[in-house]
């Protein structure tokens, strides 16, 4: 599968052969959904917390004697049916939402999603993006020029989750230049995952040769693991 590489001005800069294992994998929506839900669960930090009847204050003394008052019997003011009492089955911040994801599942889901977006024409390969000083205006100018490419017109107009920029390496100048643009997100290629890709319409990949080499290394690692398990 061949694709076009563009420069940061939106002009064609060459072509690239995409490996079939990565960009022509079978679409597996169930696996992508499973991995995405698991990753979101693993990133979840429990905040909501309620007190049960053993946590609230008071309740050491019986409200009134057991019999002879004409009222229903009660043993503690901390009971959930009393105002100010504990909460029954409420959320607690000690709950663990983590879900195990096998590396093979994670990799297959990533390749399946990359293939889907490549087929839909929502992955853009850019040879490189370099800025010498942090300037949001220059970053916006690059986005405007990339939006002139056919199929990527909404890159400039989409208000939310327009594109995820995957840079080859961490670059502080690029981070500071792009982070103030609300509909754009940036990350390193090595951190690319299913959950992030699903949130954005477009995926902009810089330094495509290095990116493909990195993705190929994931396949070689899997093959080595399979061979070890067979032995």
pLDDT (tens digit, 9 = 90+) per residue, 116-143? 999 999 999 999 898 899 999 999 999 9
Tokens 């994801």 locate to: 101
What average pLDDT does this structure show over 152-165?
Answer: 92
Task: Identify the band that residue 225 occupies on the pLDDT scale cut at 50, 70 and 90.
Answer: low
CA distance 157 to 147: 9
What average pLDDT does this structure show over 140-149?
Answer: 93
CA distance 212 to 170: 17
Domain with CATH 3.40.1370.10 in the chain: 2-44+99-230
CA distance 136 to 40: 30
pLDDT of 222 reads 62
The CATH topology of domain 2-44+99-230 is: Ribosomal Protein L4; Chain: A; (3.40.1370)
- Reduced to 3 states (helix: H, G, I; strand: E, B; else coil), residue 203 is strand
Claim: this prediction has a pTM higher than 0.85: no
CA distance 174 to 191: 16
pLDDT digit string, tens, across residues 54-86: 999 887 889 999 999 999 999 999 999 999 999
CA distance 122 to 147: 12
Closest CA to 196 of 120, 204, 76, 208: 204
> 22 CB contacts (<8 Å, ≥6 apart)?
111, 114, 115, 212, 215, 216, 219
The DSSP code for 6 is E
CA distance 167 to 153: 21
């Amino acid at each position: 599968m061949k694709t076009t590489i563009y420069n940061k001005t939106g002009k064609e800069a060459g072509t690239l052969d995409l490996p079939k294992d990565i960009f022509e994998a079978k679409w597996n929506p169930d696996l992508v959904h499973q991995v995405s839900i698991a990753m979101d669960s693993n990133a979840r930090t429990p905040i909501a917390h309620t007190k049960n009847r053993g946590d609230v204050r008071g309740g050491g003394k019986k409200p009134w004697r057991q019999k002879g008052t004409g009222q229903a019997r009660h043993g503690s003011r901390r009971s959930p049916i009393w105002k100010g009492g504990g909460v029954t089955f409420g959320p607690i911040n000690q709950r663990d939402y983590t879900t195990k994801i096998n590396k093979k599942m994670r990799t297959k889901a990533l390749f399946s999603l990359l293939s889907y977006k490549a087929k839909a024409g929502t992955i853009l390969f850019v040879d490189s993006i370099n800025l010498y000083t942090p300037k949001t205006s220059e970053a916006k100018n690059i986005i405007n020029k990339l939006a002139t490419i056919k199929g990527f017109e909404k890159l400039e107009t989409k208000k939310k989750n327009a594109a995820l920029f995957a840079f080859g390496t961490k670059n502080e100048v690029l981070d500071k230049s792009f982070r103030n643009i609300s509909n754009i997100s940036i990350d390193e290629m090595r951190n690319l995952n299913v959950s992030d890709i699903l949130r954005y319409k477009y995926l902009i990949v810089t330094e495509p040769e290095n990116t493909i080499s990195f993705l190929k290394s994931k396949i070689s690692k899997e093959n080595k693991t399979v061979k070890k398990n067979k032995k």
